[in-house]
Structure 1
Amino acid sequence: MLALSFMRHAFVAGTFIAIVSGLIGVFVVARGLPFLTHTLSEIGFAGASFAVFAGWPALNGMILFTMLSSIVVGQMSIKRSRREAVISAVSALFLGLGILFLSLSSETASSATSILFGSVVGISIHEVWELVVLSAIVLIVTMLIYRPLKFDSFDDIGARVTGIPSTAISVVFLLLLALSVSVAAQIVGALLMFILLTLPAASAKYFTHGVAKMIVLSILFSLVGTWLGLYLGYLTNWPVSFFIALIEAVIYASALLYQKYYVE
């Protein structure tokens, strides 16, 4: 399997995507932002569709749209009372824009399929290097703000009392999340990318409560789903995103059963 260059590219890209998703996902869950990853998936779809229409690489369009809109959407949906309305309105708008851009472009339907469901097995070495660089940026910035981000995510009241600049931390994190969404969508597609950014971290919190341990376990779950999904996709020629979604769902169900029968 690894004798094939496209599979080597897929595993390298998938590994970096899984690490980024596992790390950022812990803070997504802690900050109560799974809804935002779902909204950003529709925005990323619109961005990638616009890129196809404009003749750009899809990743560039996703980064442009998600980074420009992440802060605005995040601030609009801070209040829980209007969160559902914001999600519905923004998701509907950007889904519609994505469909419009695809209909106006001269590309075939395969472009839409790649954007929606991912196409990691067809990724080029140039695209692998793009993902590696973007992943490195996310990891480095996250490590630089790790202590205040952890404090603000898991004890926001205490963070404000101690003078941590919560607004600045939130803005930086939203930009990191936007980059992570664009990166993760390359392997599981715009529709399913929130799986890698939520389920591994949501599963990890049932097995441990330490933040560092949670991050390690979340990354491990993300890697298992990605690697096994790529392997099963290679064996069956079925979509890799299907296997990743299935594996992460099984891990999450196992975490719930562990919590119910071994912790309570």
Structure 2
Amino acid sequence: MTFVDPATYLQLLALVQNSIIAAAVLGVVGGLIGVFVMQRDMAFAVHGISELSFAGAAAALLLGLNVVAGSIVGSLIAAGLIGVLGAKARDRNSIIGVLMPFGLGLGILFLALYPGRSGNKFGLLTGQIISVDLPQLGLLIGISIVVLVALLIVWRPLAFDSLDAEVASARGVPSRALSILFMTLLGLTVAVSVQIIGALLVMALLVTPAAAALRVSSSPVMVPVLSMVFGLVSAVGGILLAIGGSLPISPYITTISFAIYVVCRIIGSRAGARAGALR
């Protein structure tokens, strides 16, 4: 692995400013929606959606269409199927287990048929550093704002439904509608994350930051804040490290995200042991 000199690094930094902005936005939105992913026990669903998102992006690449748009279509199809058919955890896991190999198989087929550069194929799996142009950045930010605003609007009923769906339903919370809405928002977030980190590793932004935050806090305010901070640090830090080396972006993002989780887990374990000793 080689690293560039400081002067070249600054030049590369100017070239990837769109990607840095996109990564920052996705880190924040991914960290926020990840809190509900963990509360609703849907980490497996993120991976399932990403497989069909990958298939949609690969189909768009093959047909010469917008890759982000293809990724969104694939994600929304998967999210809709999981949201409508997977009301119960057992049904949801079964549907995801069926969708994952199907989406991955379709994606591999489309990439095998694609006659273009192999770098474009590889980028769908591991992320692309300098591929975010201004129109794509506008689309990414626009979708992220929609997801963020929607989450803030339904935050209280969604949080209630995520923590205790049966009680929430008995209190008149529209659990099924919230489930479908949440899956749609999750699908959109997964789709736009593919452009930065790749289809197979989106959990580093949508699951790990929230899982780390939950290890060190149970506060309904601090957990989302910490999750967004962890997602932001992982995404932007990954890009800043990747442009100085020769490796794809995804190993850097996943490593930073994992390191944050390990540190939070150690801190949480020590805090729990200390609290137990004081009883």
Q: TM exceeds 0.5?
A: yes
Match of 2:210 in 1: 201
CA distance in 2, matches of 1:172, 1:86: 18
Return the letter of the residue paired with 2:122.
Answer: T
Which residue among 56, 60, 64 is the counterpart of 1:55?
A: 64
Match of 2:49 in 1: 40
Which residue among 110, 118, 130 is the counterpart of 1:101?
A: 110
Which residue among 68, 71, 92 is the counterpart of 2:77?
A: 68
CA distance in 2, matches of 1:164, 1:87: 25
Seq. identity, %: 33
CA offset digits 1:163-189 (Å, max 9, x no partner): 011111111100000000011111110
Report if the CA contact (8 A) 1:36-1:74 is conserved.
no
CA distance in 2, matches of 1:2, 1:122: 18
CA distance in 2, matches of 1:82, 1:33: 12
Structure 2 counterpart SS, 1:236? coil
CA, structure 1 residues 148+2, in 2 after alignment: closer, same or farther (shift >3 Å)?
Answer: farther
Return the TM-score normalized by structure 1: 0.94
Which residue among 176, 179, 190 is the counterpart of 1:167?
A: 176
Return the letter of the residue paired with 1:197.
Answer: L
Match of 1:214 in 2: 223
Match of 1:254 in 2: 263
CA, structure 1 residues 198+163, in 2 after alignment: closer, same or farther (shift >3 Å)?
Answer: same
Q: Provide the alpha-carbon RMSD of the alignment.
A: 1.6
Report if the CA contact (8 A) 2:78-2:99 is conserved.
no
Which residue among 180, 183, 186 is the counterpart of 2:195?
A: 186
Match of 1:263 in 2: 272
Which residue among 219, 229, 234 is the counterpart of 2:238?
A: 229
The answer to which of 74-83 and 21-30 deviates more is: 74-83
Return the letter of the residue paired with 1:176.
Answer: L
CA distance in 2, matches of 1:219, 1:255: 14
Return the letter of the residue paired with 1:118.
Answer: G
The structural deviation recorded for 1:83 is 4.8
The structural deviation recorded for 1:146 is 1.2
Tell me which structure has the larger Cα radius of gyration: 2
Report if the CA contact (8 A) 2:82-2:183 is conserved.
no
Whether 1:157 and 2:166 are equivalent positions in the alignment is yes
In structure 1, stretches of 5+ residues that fail to align are none
The answer to which of 173-182 and 96-105 deviates more is: 96-105
Return the letter of the residue paired with 1:38.
Answer: H
CA offset digits 1:132-162 (Å, max 9, x no partner): 1111111111111111111111222221121
CA distance in 2, matches of 1:96, 1:129: 31
CA offset digits 1:162-220 (Å, max 9, x no partner): 10111111111000000000111111100101211000000001111122211100000
Whether 1:6 and 2:15 are equivalent positions in the alignment is yes
The structural deviation recorded for 1:92 is 1.0
Return the TM-score normalized by structure 2: 0.89
Total equivalences in the alignment: 264
Please identify runs of 4+ aligned residues in structure 1 that moved more than 6 A.
none
